[in-house]
Structures are given as C-alpha cells and as structure tokens.
Structure 1
Amino acid sequence: MKGHYFHQDLYIARLIFEANPQKHLDIGSRTDGFIAHVAAYRNIELVDIRPIKSLVKNISITCANLMELPAGMVNYCDSISSLHAIEHFGLGRYGDPIDYFGYLKALQNIAKIVKTGGTFYFSVPIGPQRIEFNAHRVFSIKYLLDVLSENFSIKAFSYVNDEGDFFENVELTEKNILSNLGCTYGCGIFTCIKK
C-alpha cells in the first residue's frame, strides 16, 4: 500500500474526521478516493472545473473554474482541501484556460474562501521546481512555503517520498526544505491555518 493518492486521501480524511469542521469544501481532489472517504462520514462540497454529476449521498458538486472566485464564496467555510489538484491549474489539461499563474490565482481564491482561523489541507508534487508537459507542475518546498506564507501559517507537514512511503509530521528544517526531502516527484502534504 503505497503512493501519493493512497496515503494523502486516507490521511486528510482522518484529519477532517478528527477536526469535525462546520463546513468542508474541496477543490478538485480525487472523487473515487478522498471525496468518497470523507462522504462516508459527513457532507462534503466539491468545486471542480470538470462537469461531474453525482447522486451520491453527502456529495454536492459545483462546476466552476477556481482561477476565478465563484460568487458567494468569500468566507464560505472553516475547512477546505485541495489534494493533488492545484498543480494542474492553468495548464489546460482538464479544459481550463491556459494561464501560467493559474495555480497562484487558485491559492489566492482559496485564501478568500476559507475563514480566518480555518484549515486548508493542501497537497502537490514536490521536488525540483518544473512543469512537466501535458501533465502538471512540481514545486520545491521552499517555493511553496514562500507562496503559502502570505495567507497561511503551516501547522503540520507530511509527505510521500519517491518510493511511495508516507512520513507524517516531518519537521521542516532548512536541510529538509532545500533538499525537498530527497524527492524528485514526491507529494508534499500541508495542513495550513488561515491568517
């Protein structure tokens, strides 16, 4: 039992269960993993650029492009997640418009959606910073910390390494940050608190 999705989906679903937020919103995460795990025990709302239909109990879906703030979403929830999704924003792979800064626009909008003091569960590929053609971005940990620091404080960091093994609550020392924990294509999992 290895891999980014397997570990991140179970881990974040557990954290949401333990936190029991009033309202949880997800942005573009995997429906047959994370969304399904959370829907087993609570309501979850999903915003996705893909037109997804659901008749599944506890799942409601809104089709929207999060590079633009959906109407009525400011201070909308106290808990929000985006797992292995932001790295695709603006690259056009899922029908979204091409926008080099699409991921930054999405992160800015997430900061507007979650209430002050609310929790943002966030995962993306980590390693040497790059864009892989017709696939996704990979981010360095240092860059992510710089980007997130504008609106969020980091409560916890976990990751899945290149071999697919999970490491929970890892200290972000300077060495770990600069080395991307030895990952070329790992998965960084951040638990953030909105400032």
Structure 2
Amino acid sequence: MQPDVATATSNNSLLKTDSQSQNAASVAWALRNSSKKWVLQSTAQTENSIFTEEDKKTWEACKEAVSTFNFSGEEANKVLGKAFGQVHSPYWGEERKKVVPKLETIDEILDYLRSLSLSDDDLAKLLKKFPEVLGCDLEVDIKGNVQILENEWGIKGKTLRNLLLRNPRVLGYNIDCKGDCMAQCTRCWARF
C-alpha cells in the first residue's frame, strides 16, 4: 500500500506552517522585548529632558545616596524612578505623580530603616525588592505599618528585620479591604 501523495503533501505543509509560526512567534517575542527596553530608555531620556537644572542636581544627589548600596547608576535611576513615578510601577498604579525626590526625605527613610536593625546590605536587598519604599510617606505609611506590625501582630526586633527582608512591601501597605476587595491589591494588608 502506497501513502497518499495528497496526505503526505498536506502533512509537510503543516510541518512547515508549524515551524514558520514558531519562528514568527520567536521573532515577535524578540521584537516585543527589545521594544520594551527601548521604551524604558526613551522614557528616561524624555523625563531627564523635562527636569530643570536644579531638579537634575537633586536627582543626582539622590542617585548618589542610593548608589551607596552598590547599585550601578542605571540601577539607582531605576530605584528612584519606580519610587517617584518616573518609571511605571504596579505598586502605585496610575495614582503616582511624577516628582523629583528630596534628598532629606530619602535620608530620613533610610535612617529610620537602619534603626530597625537593617544593615546596608539588608537595605540593598530591600530596595531591590521594593524600591517604592523611598516614595512612601515616612510617618503615615512606613512608621504606621511598623507600629501595626508591632502592636497588632507582635512582630518586633529580629523577627521584624527578617519579615522586612522577606516581604518589604508590608512597609507600603495602606489599605485593609477586610475581604471586600478595593482593587488595590498591591497595597492591601490582605496580602500579609
């Protein structure tokens, strides 16, 4: 019995179509990823062009403060960008306005975090996981959340340090939906 020529031809065309679609998919993936990189870089260039000279100096001073944790210049820009709305972050959603950070505010936040027994190595890990902490309100969000952890959960000292290294986002939680979702899950205590 000989194979049907029409069947063999259609099977070959299916194989070609599958390999062509796989090639097309990999090309599309590569284009998507390269364009994302381009968008991030072009966004940073655009944002830098709308800064005043004083804003640029302030940004550079803040970047230097963040760079003390062994971040490259690009990484420091990304940390500050996510914290202050220059780079999109799911944590903020659409509500974060683009602002220029203040060195005093960053120093106060870093000093407070150090007072929680976090070393500079710990802070580097925390900032990599949750750079947005630098854009949070020190009194309301950060200190308020540490108080909640201490008073309501009994988490203090070394246990608090370990928790912050594992889940630093807890410093920025500012909503407790108590099961009635408010569609701000990235900032909700329900995640804790």
TM-score, length basis structure 2: 0.27
Bigger strand fraction: 1
> Greater Rg, structure 1 or structure 2?
2
TM-score, length basis structure 1: 0.27
Higher relative contact order by CA 8 Å / sep ≥ 6: 1 or 2? 1
